[in-house]
């Protein structure tokens, strides 16, 4: 397949004009539609614009390459436009763009077109080629320029492959290029590095981590013989293989625009040596990261934890729901969910999965920040947050063991908010520890990742979390006292408060305070059962808010979000609030207010309709024992719908075919 197979005359506009970036994208999408490649133009346009929100696809020198990979594309295609007056496309060099190519890639496993698109991207690195395109008088001339250059490029690639065979074992520099989408910029950075190396008289091998997977893979022999490594990437790449080599890490745009400078960093021995668990990031890369924004950097670390936690939430939640379904005969009793052997098995399995949820979240956040040494430190920090260990509790247990005293202090979990704190703290503590260990003798290099980092890191995070957890306990005690002081004079307001509290931290101290208050109230009579019903419906709402939003407002969520969202129907109906945690952790500013509002509305309606629950758990599966069940179901539906609508208003449209990162 050649470039001209993807670019049709109908999709080329010579001598166009645009009032701005948005107008240029709109026109380019129209050209792509004219070529017959798009099944859903609006969806495709939204995907292109969502990619631009991540970072501009203008690369400088008057060129922009917007692109999107989505199931709105029927077949791979290209569109092109020349703009003699140029258009402001947020180019990194501040200049207007006058040559724009739009790429449409289908969301399929058949990626044969990606090789063609990468070839176009590398051709655009040639100034003479671009000038010839700008000077084309019509679409036929435009295509002729491309066809001639591509033929020469294919011939050059064959010669390069032959040269690579004879140059085996003589590679001086190895590199990896990668961008989030992996369609254009990955290959442009690789081309720029290869051309710069040839110009400077060096040999280089570049691995591209593109949409079609990693190509031109670096071997152990390649890495061992190289002077150093260049990482020009905007996403994580496998780093362990570069242990002991000088590594210079930067953005993919720097690979495109500053290839000679990057090669100089390696050949002039200015790159730091990478060691296990320690990223070699230069000052230049640090500046680049700051421009990317600290918030985006934190978000990437957070999403690493969330994506690893999600399977534990989904798998454990469904198993617990099955346990309740199998044990419905014991609804309302304290051992509900464990009343039969089979139900107990499912409940135990689900609880075991849930037990790993918060440590996994914290561990992989820390690993994203500090690489492998951060994993153990974050995992332990998350586990301590989950258990709620405090100095007072430990002292109490010592007194129990030594003096035979009765235990006085109970553990209070810090919940997912405590695990978030533990994850980030563990990551940055480990990075600080790595920096402090730089002064140690080289002879100790090998024991740092296996002894010093885990030993000192785990000690530090344990001291921190054991000190922080009492704050959560104080919050829990204060909230419980506040609820007890309210009485039951206004059940609607109380129902709204306890319902909303169930969504604030979803399994943390605030959630548990409301739940304990509700379960304790059951013993006081009918009024207490009304409070318990509000608590339970409030706890069911968060996962259903997520499920409804991902089902009916698809353009607010990625493909991965939508797939995981379906499970939240089951988890919500089963009174498992934790199903919403991955979404709340990823976007707390939008998810938490929406869920809190929905839960408060549901709790208020339930109380107003005098719905009462003698069961402390079970969710919708125990509706047979709840008084006024129809209005209870209505309260759940209304509250969940209100939360889903608010959330979907607050969320911005995204490219629905992208992964959760």
Q: What is the mean pLDDT of each run of 10 residues along the chain (661 residues)?
A: 84 92 92 90 88 80 86 88 91 86 78 64 83 92 90 74 55 84 71 87 86 74 89 78 87 83 89 64 36 60 73 72 77 74 90 86 89 91 90 88 84 77 93 86 77 93 91 67 63 90 78 71 72 91 94 85 84 83 83 94 94 78 84 95 94 59 35
Q: Single out the residue of 68, 40, 63 nearest to residue 53, CA to CA.
A: 68
DSSP letter at 580 equals: G
Closest CA to 98 of 32, 22, 30, 14: 14
- Numbered ranges of CATH 3.40.930.10 in the chain: 3-152
User: Is 315 strand, coil or helix?
Assistant: helix
Residue 448 is given by DSSP the state: I
Catalytic one of 67, 113, 301, 617: 67
The 8-class DSSP code of residue 20 comes to: S
The whole-number pLDDT of residue 271 equals 86
pLDDT, position 290: 37
Eight-state DSSP code of residue 60: E
Q: Rounded CA gap, 505 and 584, in Å?
A: 9
d(CA 605, CA 107): 44
Pairing of the two strands 228-233 and 58-60: unpaired
Beta strands in 57-163 (DSSP E): 58-60, 63-64, 67-70, 77-87, 97-106
CA distance 478 to 285: 46
Q: Using CA atoms, how far apart are residues 377 and 359, in angstroms rounded to an integer? A: 10
Helix, strand, coil percentages in the chain from 3-state DSSP, rounded to 5? 65, 10, 25
Which residue from 499, 660, 506 is spatially nearest to 581, judged by alpha carbons?
506
Q: Do the Cβ atoms of 625 and 332 come closer than 8 Å?
A: yes
Q: How far apart are CA 90 and CA 54, in angstroms?
A: 12
Q: Strand 246-250 to strand 272-273: parallel, antiparallel, or no bridges (unpaired)? A: antiparallel
**Which strands, in side-by-side order, build the sheet including 246-250?**
213-215, 204-210, 173-178, 228-233, 246-250, 272-273
- If residue 247 lies in a helix (H) or strand (E), which one and from where to where? strand 246-250
Written as six digits, the tokens of 97 are: 């763009």
Domain 3-152 CATH (choose: 3.40.50.10800, 3.40.930.10, 3.40.50.720, 3.40.50.300): 3.40.930.10
Backbone angles phi, psi at 658, to 5 degrees: -85, 160
Residue 397, both tokens = 């247990």
d(CA 131, CA 542): 56
- Residue 529, exposed/middle/buried by CB under 10 A (0-12, 13-18, 19+)? buried
* All residues at 6 or more sequence positions from 395 whose CB lies less than 8 Å from its CB, including other chains: none
Q: Which of helix, strand or coil describes residue 73?
A: strand
Pair of tokens at residue 508? 């943390």
CA atoms within 13 A on the CB side of 50: 24
**Residue 485 class from Cβ within 10 Å (0-12 exposed, 13-18 middle, 19+ buried)?**
exposed
Q: What is the pTM of this model?
A: 0.49
Residues with Cβ within 8 Å of 550's Cβ and at least 6 positions away in sequence, in order, are 556, 557, 561, 562, 564, 565, 566, 568
Q: Rounded CA gap, 499 and 515, in Å?
A: 9
Q: Is 437 a catalytic residue?
A: no
Catalytic residue among 130, 179, 609, 611: 179
Q: Alpha carbon of 552 to those of 369, 555, 644: distances in Å?
A: 35, 9, 9
How many Å is the Cα radius of gyration of the chain?
A: 29
For residue 238, the 8-state DSSP code is: -
Q: In this structure, are residues 461 and 422 in contact, taking their beta carbons and an 8 Å threshold?
A: yes
CA distances from 15 to 98, 135, 191 (A): 9, 10, 28
Burial of 92 (0-12, 13-18, 19+ CB in 10 A): middle
Give the integer Cα–Cα distance in Å for 175 and 271: 13
Q: How far is CA 69 from the centre of its chain?
A: 18
Nearest to 506 by CA among 424, 592, 570, 617: 592
Q: Tell me how far apart the alpha carbons of residues 10 and 633 are, in angstroms, rounded to a whole number.
A: 55
- Helix 341-370 and helix 372-387, axial crossing angle in degrees, nearest 10: 130
Was domain 168-292 assigned CATH 3.40.50.970? no
Q: Where in the chain is the domain with CATH 3.40.50.2300?
A: 168-292
Asked if 620 and 325 touch (Cβ cutoff 8 Å), the reply is no
* 113 catalytically annotated: no
Rounded-to-integer distance, Cα 532 and Cα 514, Å: 9
pLDDT of residue 188: 78
- Taking the C-alpha atoms of residue 447 and residue 86, their distance in angstroms, rounded to an integer, is 57
Q: What is the largest CA-CA distance in the chain?
A: 95
CA 384 to each of CA 175, 285, 631, 642: distance values in angstroms, whole numbers, following the listed order:
40, 34, 41, 36
């Amino acid at each position: 397949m050649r470039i001209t197979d993807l670019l049709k005359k109908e999709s080329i506009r010579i001598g166009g004009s645009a009032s701005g970036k948005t107008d240029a994208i709109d026109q380019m999408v129209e050209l792509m539609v004219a070529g017959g490649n798009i099944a859903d133009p609006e969806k495709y346009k939204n995907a292109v614009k969502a990619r631009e929100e991540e970072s501009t696809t203008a690369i400088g020198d008057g060129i922009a390459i917007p692109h999107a990979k989505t199931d709105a594309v029927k077949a791979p295609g290209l569109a092109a436009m020349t703009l003699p007056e140029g258009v402001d496309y947020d180019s990194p060099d501040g200049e207007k763009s006058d040559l724009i190519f739009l790429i449409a890639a289908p969301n399929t496993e058949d990626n044969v077109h990606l090789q063609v698109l990468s070839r176009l991207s590398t051709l655009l690195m040639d100034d003479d080629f671009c000038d010839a395109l700008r000077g084309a008088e019509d679409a036929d001339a435009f295509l002729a320029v491309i066809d001639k250059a591509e033929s020469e490029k294919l011939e050059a690639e064959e010669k390069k492959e032959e040269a690579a065979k004879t140059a085996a074992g003589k590679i001086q520099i190895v590199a990896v290029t990668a961008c989030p989408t992996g369609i254009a910029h990955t290959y442009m950075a690789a081309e720029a590095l290869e051309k710069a190396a040839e110009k400077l008289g060096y040999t280089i091998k570049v691995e591209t981590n593109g949409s079609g997977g990693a190509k031109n893979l670096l071997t152990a022999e390649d890495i061992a013989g190289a002077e150093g490594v260049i990482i020009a990437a905007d996403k994580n790449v496998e780093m362990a293989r570069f242990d002991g080599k000088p590594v210079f890490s930067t953005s993919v745009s720097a690979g495109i625009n500053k290839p000679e400078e990057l090669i100089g960093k390696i050949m002039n021995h200015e790159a730091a040596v990478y060691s296990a668990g320690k990223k070699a990031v230069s000052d230049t890369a640090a500046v680049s990261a700051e421009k990317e924004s600290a918030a985006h950097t934190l978000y990437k670390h957070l999403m690493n934890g969330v994506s690893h936690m999600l399977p534990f939430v989904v798998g454990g939640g469904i198993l617990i729901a099955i346990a309740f379904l199998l044990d419905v005969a014991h609804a309302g009793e304290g051992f509900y969910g464990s009343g039969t052997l089979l139900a107990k098995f499912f409940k135990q399995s689900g609880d075991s999965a849930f037990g790993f949820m918060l440590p996994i979240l914290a561990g992989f956040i820390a690993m994203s920040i500090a690489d492998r040494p951060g994993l153990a430190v974050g995992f332990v920090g998350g586990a301590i947050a989950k258990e709620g260990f405090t100095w007072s509790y430990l002292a109490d247990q010592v007194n129990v063991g030594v003096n035979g005293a009765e235990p006085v202090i109970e553990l209070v979990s810090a919940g997912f908010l405590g695990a978030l704190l533990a994850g980030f703290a563990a990551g940055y503590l480990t990075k600080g520890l790595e920096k402090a260990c730089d002064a140690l003798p080289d002879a100790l290099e090998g024991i740092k990742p296996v002894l010093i980092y885990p030993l000192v890191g785990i000690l530090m995070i344990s001291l921190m979390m054991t000190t922080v957890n009492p704050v959560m306990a104080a919050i829990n005690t204060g909230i419980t006292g506040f609820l007890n002081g309210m009485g039951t004079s206004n059940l609607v307001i109380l129902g709204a408060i306890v319902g909303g509290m169930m969504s604030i931290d979803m399994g943390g101290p605030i959630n548990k305070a409301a739940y304990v208050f509700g379960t304790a109230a059951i013993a006081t009579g009918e009024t207490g059962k009304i409070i318990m019903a509000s608590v339970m419906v409030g706890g069911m709402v968060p996962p259903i808010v997520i499920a409804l939003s991902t089902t009916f407002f698809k353009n607010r969520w990625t493909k991965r979000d939508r797939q995981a969202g379906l499970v939240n129907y089951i988890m919500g109906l089963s009174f498992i609030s934790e199903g919403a945690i991955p979404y709340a952790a990823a976007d707390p500013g939008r998810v938490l207010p929406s869920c809190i509002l929905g839960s408060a509305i549901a709790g208020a309606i339930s109380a107003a309709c005098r719905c009462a629950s003698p069961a402390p758990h079970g969710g919708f599966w125990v509706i047979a024992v709840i008084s006024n069940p129809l209005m209870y179901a209505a309260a759940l539906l209304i509250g969940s719908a209100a939360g889903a609508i608010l959330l979907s208003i607050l969320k911005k449209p995204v490219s629905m075919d992208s992964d959760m990162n």
